[in-house]
Amino acid sequence: MSAAVLVGVALVGGVVGLVVPPVARRFTTLPARPRRDARAWLGPPLAAAVFLGLAVAQGDDPALPVLLAVAAVGLVLAVVDLACLRLPDPMVAAAGLLALGGLTGAALLAGTPGRLVGALVGAAVSGAAHVLLALLPGSRLGFGDVKLAAVLGLPLGWLGRDALLTGLLLPHLLHGTLVLGLLAARKVRRETLLPLGPALLAGTWLAALVS
């Protein structure tokens, strides 16, 4: 992928970053002009970095536009979950439809139906694994997280077994490390509820970068 195309992808990501806050406000009580708080990093620079990272790592993959579209919805979901510990079903469903429809089209155009099967298997494995985690005694995993994990299993399965395994394990490693750090700093208590959605999305993105 040429440097000019990469720059273009990054610019598109920056524009997406500008759109994320107003879309997220439809699902939260975010102020019209939010303060520069913990959500400030979810802006154009981050969105541009997310898009650019995917383009560099998966530039030759016919599903790159699908990955970028899912990432755009994921940024909105991350903002909403950070703001109110909620993953709205309409946004999760939108990500799922984009992923399933886009990957189906990419598989047909590229003549690689096996990768579509891999995507479906990835969704099933990721969804089932998180259902089991949600049912464990004392689990704080919500079914919004389960649904998002199943959706993210689609692109992870498309990218292959290694990406799927990394995408299953890394979010919980990231989340666990964050929780331990916050507990050690006495910023939260053991009973404090923290969003898992951003970790699921970040882990999936990182898995796509290294696959």
Encode pLDDT of 103-124 as tens digits: 999 999 999 999 999 999 999 9
- pTM of the predicted model over 0.85: yes
d(CA 10, CA 46): 10
Element (H, E) at 159: helix 143-159
CA angle 177/178/180 to nearest 5° reads 65
Residue 39 burial (CB count, 10 A): 18
Residues 95/151, Cβ–Cβ less than 8 Å: yes
pLDDT at 42: 54
Encode pLDDT of 84-108 as tens digits: 999 999 999 999 999 999 999 999 9
Encode pLDDT of 165-199 as tens digits: 999 999 999 999 999 999 899 888 888 889 999 99
d(CA 71, CA 80): 14
